[in-house]
Structure 1
Amino acid sequence: MSKIIFNEHQRRQIEQNPNVVLITDRSIQYTVAFKLKAVQENLKGKGPTEIFKAAGFDLEIIGIKKVQSAVHRWKKIYQTYGEDGFTQERRGKGSTGRPRAEKLSADKKLEKAEARIRLLEAELAPLKKARRNGKAGEEESFLTPKEKYQAISETIRLFQLKNMTRYLCEVANVSSSGYYKWRQNMEKHSLREEADYQDYLLLKVIYDEAKGKIGYRGFYMELVDQLGKPMNHKKILRLMRKFNLYAKVRRANPYRLIEKANEAHRQIPNYLNRAFKQDEPGKVFLTDITYLQYKGGRTAYLSCVKDVATREIVAYKLATTLKLSIVYETLEQLKHHLDGNLHPEAMIHSDQGFHYTHPGFQTLVKDMGLKQSMSRRGNCLDNAPMESFFGHFKDEVDYHEAESFTELHTQVIDYITHYNHTRKQWTLKKMTPASYRSHLIAA
């Protein structure tokens, strides 16, 4: 059974397509003519997604896997039974297929409606939380009255039944007065569904512009910019779950274990000790190097310095080698950034890479008047904010597609400018690093 569950708005949207005969919350029944056309076009070389798009279906709602499996199933039926496979009843005869659409009498329609309700109960009941039936130690899954009302309404609408409401209520074991009262509130539910869908369209535009790399906090800040007023973050989370807007984020590598090392570095202790919450710009800096692989199997190396208080990248250097010059030039940029305004307790923190344990680097740091601190061995969490920046960079920049070092260098400059001046952060009171620096200085 498909894992995709269609909501009411999606069902109504799909139902408007002339190629659809019947739709439930989990399945779609298509016309015989569309099935034949899809099989014939597929045999000529057209792909399933192309066929369904040309027929006016929204694949983001239906799902690509459902489309591919449907065309594969129809083609198998066509190759085995020909066109008759779509018009003759195949169920119970050792093969797959769907029953043909027939003109039914009123009695047949009633029987089919009753069977339809039972089918909905069988499909929905396992999904509901088990509720006590009054007997100790026993549990039973059943539909709530609201869910039964929904099943009755869909059955009447889909099968176009008339004067059958009272009978269907008896079959579902609910009162007809309760059903009519529920129908009176249907308009409110429809209006809310429509309002949710309009909000979803707004979120979808932002989601597509960010290439899916945005969460509810990013949505919140972006909506404040666009609308001038916030949308409740709980509502944003609800809409994201409802319409499957999941943030495409990096996943932790379970095979990369962090070594629990308690010994401090023999030469430079860990003076910072993860004190990443600072409120004085220019007091604590973090530095590290990451590698960037771009087209042609080539590798570049990015060295950065980050101000812990403002989250701002204040110095960086992109190079094609890991020579010591990469960290020397980064320190020169940091010196230029400070411009003689050195905090009396200024500190620079790094991991235990060979660049930072080298005597030349340590001497240059000391000459600049900075105190040096190092993470414990094998513990990347001791330099977490710097690692976080590199992670966001690799998530949000298509550096793999860079054709040359020059193009990669342009991407680095553009992203750091964006990160410092236009990319808002939730933990910085929803400000950009540059704005937050001005805020701290003013405070």
Structure 2
Amino acid sequence: MSKKVFTNEQILALSKNRYIKRVSEKGITYTDEFKSLFVAEHIMGKLSSQIFQDAGFDIETLGNTRIKSSSKRWRKAYKESGELGLRDTRKFSSGRPLKRELTLEEIITRKDAEIEYWKAEAELLKKIELQERQVKNGSLRISSIFALVQNILSKSKYKNMIRHLCGVIGVSRSGYYNYLKSESTRNIREQRDLQLRKIVLKAFEHRGYKKGSRSIKMVLEQEFNLIINRKCIQRIMRKYNIKCPIRKANPYRRMMKATREHTVVPNLLNRNFKQNIPGKVLLTDITYLFYGKGHRAYLSTIKDSSTNEILAYNVSANIKMDIVTDTILKLKKNRNIKISKDAFIHSDQGCHVRQEVA
């Protein structure tokens, strides 16, 4: 180890580097990631000082002696034990080093603990990466990370690996312990959310069709006399995967639109609805009729614009073309109605009707 002593300014500057775990006046503890990076780049033929410089270290601050010493130590450890030799194993031992040699049983126990630590670390990182892919903004809440740590520790017999796992993912142990203390509060919140879920589901399925957060809020206020913030409703729907299906497009509308694309109908009426000639300007439209529990019918009408009289109508359970043609046929069959020779039916250029009366 170099005898060079760091100043307070140099310690502060070095501690900001991502490849440093701890730094004191006389020593530096590098991360296992940097050791692996150093060995890999050194094998590719890169100089030791260049590797440190590319990693953001000030060569003058570290000194050539410290760099050469670290390089020699890491290359030797990698040659003897591979990637495992670059790991910082000091966290697996405590107290003063033993002066006697370890027994075979003690060596196996230590190695088993070391393997268990690396397995827990790999599992935690894998789970965090998997959950981050499922989150839209790519970052997990700190409570979700603490929950993953708690889950891994509950399955391991080594309960003292909290420091190791928290250090791996860069969170504080005090934050994890606070998370454990607030478990009762989280349980109370979970019970409250379950009650809200029942209320939201009741409004969600009200009258036999599914709704979005806006409709749920209105149903709760009007039907159940409950006022719940819409953001709260959205949170409950996200949490319990309550999704409102997107309404499918009417296939008949799509077919008619495809066949009549870029079609322009001449403006014969020019908004001159009231011509005081009965039977000349006829208006038609289709409206919805709701009945029972979520049932719907369709009403097609033909109206005389001069007298405001309904000349013909037809009710149907679907919105196919027949609802329009049947209405026109009823109009033609009614002998009591006198229609002008130059009469025509005016509609809104929808996909159901655009037909003149012969």
Q: Same fold (TM over 0.5)?
A: no
Q: What TM-score do you get using the length of structure 1 for normalisation?
A: 0.36
TM-score under structure 2 length normalisation: 0.42
